[in-house]
Amino acid sequence: MLLAWLALGAAAFVLLPWYFPQNLTLARSLPGVFGGAETAGGLMQALRHGRPWLWCAPIGLALCALAWRLPPGRAQGRWLVAGAAFALVGLVGSGFAIGATGWSFDVLNARWGELHGGQSGIGLGGALVLLALLMLLGAGIARLGFFRGDFFVAGAVVLCSALLLLFVALPVAKALAGAFVGDDGTFSLAALAERLGHERVWGLSCLAGGVRCGTAWDTLFLALLTAFGTTAMGSLIALYAERGAPAHGARLGRTLNVLALLPIITPPFVVGLGLILLFGRAGLFNQFLEWAFGVAPTRWFYGLFGIWLAQLFAFTPIAFMIMRGVVQGIAPSLEEAAQTLHASRAKTFLTVTLPLMKPGLANAFLVGFIESIADFGNPIVVGGQYSVLSTDIFFAIVGAQYDQGRAASLALILTAFALGVFFVQRRVLGRTSYTTVSGKGDAGIAMPLPDGVRRVAVGLAGPWLAFTLVVYLFAFTGGFVQTWGRDYTPTLAHFVTAFDLQWGEHGLVWAGTAWNSLFTTIKLSTIAAPLCAGIGLLIAWLLARTQFVGQQAFEFAALLAFAIPGTVLGVSYILAFNVPPFELTGTGLIIVLCFVFRNLPVGVRAGTASFKQIDRHLDEASTMLRAGTGTTLVRVVLPLLKPALVAALVYSFVRGMTTVSAVIFLVTAENELATTYIIGRVGNGDYGVALAYCTVLIVLMSLATALIQFLVGERKLGRRKAAA
């Protein structure tokens, strides 16, 4: 194993381009490995092109090679750690210290003098050398007696820690640190105070008769409204679907399951587009008012009410999915025990059922809050003059002002909101146990809802179901009419514009304007999905099956991407990866990485839940038969994780196809995505093509979701049902 990593590091240093070629593919740059500065390997860069700091790599590999000749033990571990650490510190330190034109910091320029020549972003050769050094570092740590001497576990912890530091902690820290940098590029608390204390951010003029309050207050108010609304509606609908009338609950539950998948398989602004067709200036509602009462159409729908209504209908299904699982997991025997003690159904619901739903309520509120503050699609579509932090961050980066400091300060506020709610949720739940599903059987019958709760649930579930169907129906049919609000003639012209196919003299021509964005989105999502699922399940395995120093910080970093709004993550990637040593801005790779680490918590959560159901004795039995840790993981554990693996794969693919807030800053003309294409069409008022594209995405994502439902199925708890 050591020899293999040493060989990989040495070969990558000599035979692969060290830096990332800007205008060349890998295949075209390989012949120049021993040539020019742009395509040369690490050896030629150090020998001929004036980059002596790269000698750190062969020196570190040489020290590790000396360790390989030693017998296994602590001495070998010390040499491995020394060699790998020396090379990693040298390469990473020089990478951040030396930019494209010379020293990255004035203090280094003053201390060492002007550096003639710099370096660009690291390429495939440099990345593989760093990978080999990380694995050798892990092997050295294992030889020193950590991780029970297991090479695989030590290497996995070192590699995953490096990935989380590089692609989660570093970008977020760099983005938030930008708020402390003044216009002159120096550290300035005064600049931070000026940006954070600006009237546009925290102003309260609306309370004194002004036009509007600050963006931060508007965002917080909207997020709280959405979180409370989605949690309440999702909980009541889940209660009725599971505990309502037996004759109707099953049918309603199946219908709600279909609706619950719609926000996942559709772009986040589809609900907003559907509501525009209903309540917009040319919508059916305004047309009816004009026809029946002579009321002239206005833009009354655009603003706080429009965003809140769009988010309510978009995110309630997510709260329903969370709460339905919680309601299913409540043990009926606990409710029967309360009723045996002569408690009424209402009393039992308030004192037993509702407290057991506390974790689900907290999680649903957290998800609704974070989804609201991170939502970019609905505010940009139906926001009107109502500003929120996500859109202000966008315009601070891509607008004429291009104010990175302001974007970073707004991102700091947005992150503080998200982390604040996250920690409040953890504080509320505390260490209280809410376990109701154990290995013992529970043959109790779930208690029917109290009459008052059932009436409220029915009063909400029915209208919500009907209105949601209407909104999505409008969003679906909007792509099949000529011009909504003026000409309802059925047509396929919008689909032809987006997805036209023609036959030319050289064969099939993809003539539609949307093909390029669709193919790019599918390609990048397909690349990101297995990476996201694999890394997520590996981290879940490390958290569930190993114990090591710093495990809590490791877990927090793995789940940090969930608490960080997508807009902040997109800004952080722009700021962190537009300069050496990791110069990725403008490439498809940065979008893939954003997909992977934005959706990583899903794989970690799915894997952790599955590992809790797998007995450790299976791992131990494999170890007793002299199987290594890697063999046990691949041949014993992984087959038992197929549901979690499929769930993480499909969720990562679907979210990659439909996300917008995290990648709105990362797309380019060469790497345009489906959602950004649709946003552009909406901005130009071309709703027909935008809705036609949404219809195609809904069909594609429905097929993917049907596949996961078929492969994974539903949880079966084996409980009896009440008679109809």
Q: What is Dmax (Cα atoms) for the chain?
A: 92
Mean pLDDT across 563-589: 84
DSSP annotation of 372: H
Q: What is the mean pLDDT of residues 696-709?
A: 75
- Measured between alpha carbons, how far is 628 from 84 in angstroms, rounded to an integer? 24
CA angle 331, 264, 412 (to 5 degrees): 95
What are 395's two structure tokens?
């315009």
Alpha-carbon torsion (153, 159, 165, 167), positive or negative = negative
Q: Residue type at 334? A: L
Residue 644 has pLDDT above 70, yes or no: no
SS (H, E, C) 582-594: CCCCCCHHHHHHH
- Among the listed ranges 38-42, 558-562, 611-615, which one has the minimum average pLDDT value? 611-615
CA atoms within a 13 Å half-sphere pointing along the CA-CB vector of 377: 30
Convert the pLDDT of each residue in 354-408 to its tens digit. 888 887 788 788 878 888 888 888 898 888 888 898 888 888 877 666 777 888 8
Res 98 pLDDT > 80:
yes
Planar angle of CA 433, 331, 341, nearest 5 degrees: 100
210 pLDDT more than 90: no
Parallel/antiparallel/unpaired status of strands 507-510 and 501-504: antiparallel
C-alpha 689/C-alpha 667 separation (Å) is 20
Helix (H, G, I), strand (E, B) or coil at 565: coil
Q: How far apart are CA 312 and CA 114, in angstroms?
A: 57
Residue 389's alpha-carbon distances to 169, 414, 570, 661, in angstroms, are 21, 7, 14, 12
Where do runs of H (alpha helix) occur along 430-514?
451-477, 493-499
Q: Give percent of the chain with pLDDT exceeding 70.
A: 86
d(CA 645, CA 639): 9
Angle between helical axes of 151-164 and 515-545 (0-180°, round to 10): 130
pLDDT band at 63 (very low <50, low <70, confident <90, very high): very high
Cis peptide before 601 (omega within 30 of 0): no
| pLDDT of res. 439 | 42
Q: Are 666 and 584 in contact (CB under 8 A)?
A: no
Across residues 74-89, what is the average pLDDT?
Answer: 94
Task: State the pLDDT at residue 438.
Answer: 42
3-class secondary structure for 170-199? HHHHHHHHHHHECCCCCECHHHHHHHHCCH
Q: In the prediction, which pLDDT does 643 show?
A: 61
Sign of CA dihedral 642, 644, 647, 648: negative
Contact criterion met (CB below 8 Å) for 44 and 607: no
Question: Residue 594: is its pLDDT beyond 80?
Answer: yes
pLDDT tier for residue 435 given thresholds of 50, 70 and 90 = very low
Counting residues of the chain whose pLDDT is more than 90, the rounded percentage is 19
More confident residue, 649 or 231: 231
pLDDT of residue 440: 47
Label residue 715 by pLDDT band (50, 70, 90). very low
Alpha-carbon distances, residue 431 vs 123, 148, 434 (angstroms): 46, 30, 9
Residue 284 is predicted with a pLDDT of 84
Q: For residue 433, is pLDDT > 50?
A: no
Which single residue is written with the structure tokens 């990659």?
656
Question: Among 179, 212, 679, 170, which residue's Cα sits nearest to residue 414?
Answer: 179
Of residues 24 and 213, more confidently modeled: 213
Alpha carbon distance 140, 134 (integer Å): 10
Instruction: Write the Ramachandran bin of 509: left for phi over 0, alpha for psi from -120 to 50, otherwise beta.
Output: beta
Q: How far apart are CA 582 and CA 124, in angstroms?
A: 11
Question: Alpha helix locations (H) across 478-587?
Answer: 493-499, 515-545, 551-563, 566-576
CA separation for the pair 135, 410 (Å, rounded): 38
- Exposure on the CB side of residue 604, measured as CA atoms within 13 A: 20
Pairing of strands 507-510, 487-490: unpaired
pTM for this entry: 0.80
User: If pLDDT is split at 50, 70 and 90, which confidence band does 723 have?
Assistant: very low
pLDDT higher than 80, residue 639:
no
Report residue 647's pLDDT band, with 50, 70 and 90 as the boundaries. low
Contacting residues for 459 by C-beta, under 8 A, at least 6 apart: none
Q: Give the span between the Cα atoms of 505 and 493, in whole angstroms.
A: 24
Q: How far apart are CA 430 and CA 185, in angstroms?
A: 43
pLDDT of amino acid 315: 85
Question: Between 712 and 464, whose confidence is greater?
Answer: 464
Per DSSP, what are the bridge partners of residue 510? Answer: 501
**Is the predicted pLDDT of residue 228 greater than 90, yes or no?**
yes
End-to-end CA separation in angstroms for the chain: 63
Give dist(CA 416, CA 419) in Å, integer: 5
- Lowest-pLDDT choice from 253-262, 457-466, 526-535: 253-262
Are the C-beta atoms of 607 and 541 separated by less than 8 Å? yes
Residues 355-392: b if buried by 16+ CB within 10 A, e if exposed? ebbebbbbbbbbbbbbbbbbbbbbbbbbbbebbbbbbb
Contact 319, 230 (CB under 8 A): yes
Cα separation, 592 vs 525, in Å, equals 7
Give CA–CA dist 22/36, Å, rounded: 13
DSSP for residue 103 = B
Q: Give how far the C-alpha of residue 391 lies from the chain's centroid of Cα atoms, to the nearest Å.
A: 18
**Residue range 118-130: average pLDDT?**
91
Decide: 26 and 176 in contact? Cβ < 8 Å: no
Query: Is there a contact between 220 and 416 (Cβ–Cβ < 8 Å)?
Result: no
229 and 369 in contact (C-beta within 8 Å)?
A: no
User: Between 215-243 and 358-374, two packed helices, what is the crossing angle to 10 degrees?
Assistant: 140
What is residue 430's predicted lDDT score, i.e. its pLDDT?
56
**pLDDT by residue (tens digit) across 476-521?**
888 888 887 678 888 999 999 999 988 877 778 888 899 999 999 9
Instruction: Please check the confidence at residue 250 and state whether its pLDDT lies above 60.
Output: no
Helices 600-611 and 642-658, axial angle in degrees (round to 10): 160
* Cα–Cα distance measured from residue 207 to residue 665, given in angstroms and rounded to the nearest whole number: 34
Q: Percentage helix, strand, coil, to 5, in the chain?
A: 70, 5, 25
205 pLDDT band, cuts 50/70/90, is: confident
Residue 441: name the closest of 338, 357, 353, 333 by CA. 333
Distance CA 273, CA 472 (A): 9
Q: What is the pLDDT of residue 11?
A: 94
Neighbours of 535 (CB within 10 A): 23
